[in-house]
Copies of this chain bind each other. A is one copy, B any other.
Amino acid sequence: MLPWSADLAGRIDEHVISSELLRGNPLGDPHERPLWVYLPPGYEDEPARRYPAVYVIQGYTGHIAMWRNRSPYRQPFPETADAVFARGEAPPAIVVYVDAWTAYGGSQFVDSPGTGRYHSHLCDEVVPWVDGRYRTLAAPAHRAITGKSSGGFGAMITPMLRPDLFGALATHAGDSLYELSYIPEFGKSVRHLREYDGDIWRWWDDFSSRASFTGEGDQDLLMLLGVSACFSANPDGTVELPFDPHTGVLRPDIWQRWLGWDPVRMVPRYGEQLRSLRAVWIDAGTRDEWFLDIGAQAFREALAAAGVADDVIHFELFDATHMGIDYRYPLSLAWLCQRIAPDG
């Protein structure tokens, strides 16, 4: 394969969607958002045919244009996804690439007074917009959502909250089991914040005024600030950290709000919704830096305990860290498409 580019068998339509729900969001992020809709090969040839749809969301700090990034000896996911259909490895589907970036790096695909109404934007604006313009099979049985890391988290929770929309999901190393994935990060963050007198806003000002990610704590603190804005903002949009930055002691009420968004802990509350799903793909690398392999195990066991049938679940741990696992995405895509195809 040549490294520079590849032709698609299908095609990608690049849109901008104007969101009423994101208009005036607290971070001042654009309410006009890029949106890509991939149409599989043959879409134009069968003008009456309707297709299932897979919504693709991204990990923390991801934004839609990063799907074009090229890595050596690998193809971007939009190309490997296209190849799944071009090679006939799965029934054709429409693939929708959604952007939920914010100034803090992400939205966790939830509605928050700290960042904006990204969950509602996805469910109540993007989905109808796509259904209105493309020949989708507009039913949850034929609509899936997939993502990695924070995107995996979004893929886990969105069908719980909106089983009327999404009937299938794939999570690659999705955020879960928060004591293991987040608490070690808090320890690092306390240390990083020492040079900022424990004040994350002093860090943010510093971060915003220099070359990004040149400070040792930049990655950790960005995620801390951003996820706090998603999970524990006050109604007025001010952000609460889940621990005392001077001592590392958890603030129980705030931490509880985070735990309220832990997929492992959400499963029992959404048993009925989860039992309605047709397909759940769960995977992670066994050396994931955030222990998300263990989070995946815990999520899978929680599904079992909630009565989700084994035959709708694909569970797999593989030898990898959290990084460089994009080669997994076409695997789950093909599997999902088999499950959400009209006769799947």
Contacts and interface: CB of A to CB of B under 8 A. Distances in A.
Contact of A3 (B65, B72, B286): B65
A299 to B, nearest CB: 9
A48 interface: no
A211 B64 CA distance: 23
A186 B212 CA distance: 32
Contacts of A202: none
A340 interface: no
B72 A247 contact: no
A291 interface: yes
Nearest to A320: B214
A191 interface: yes
A301 interface: yes
Most buried by B among A68, A180, A327: A180
Copies of this chain: 4
Contacts of A69: 66, 68-70
Contacts of A214: 319-320, 324, 327
Contacts of A320: 214
Nearest to A61: B72
Interface string A227-259: 000000000000000001011111000000000
A246 B297 contact: yes
Most buried by B among A61, A213, A295: A213
Contact of A5 (B61, B65, B211): B65
B62 A249 contact: no
A92 B276 CA distance: 62
Task: Tell me if A's interface is mostly helix, strand, loop or mixed.
Answer: loop
Given A4-B65, A214-B324, A301-B247, A72 B105 contact: yes
Interface in A297-324: 297-298, 301, 319-320, 324
Most buried by B among A64, A246, A294: A294
Given A179-B183, A191-B286, A63 B72 contact: yes
Contacts of A301: 244, 246-247, 249
21 contacts: A3-B63, A4-B99, A5-B65, A63-B70, A68-B69, A69-B70, A72-B212, A73-B213, A74-B212, A179-B250, A180-B183, A180-B248, A183-B184, A184-B184, A187-B291, A190-B291, A190-B294, A246-B301, A247-B301, A248-B291, A249-B301
Interface of A: 2-5, 30, 34, 61-66, 68-74, 99, 101, 105, 177, 179-180, 183-184, 186-187, 190-191, 211-214, 244, 246-250, 264, 286, 291, 293-295, 297-298, 301, 319-320, 324, 327
Given A177-B247, A214-B319, A244-B301, 16 more contacts: A3-B65, A3-B101, A65-B70, A69-B69, A69-B70, A72-B105, A180-B183, A180-B186, A184-B184, A190-B297, A211-B327, A214-B324, A214-B327, A247-B298, A248-B295, A248-B298
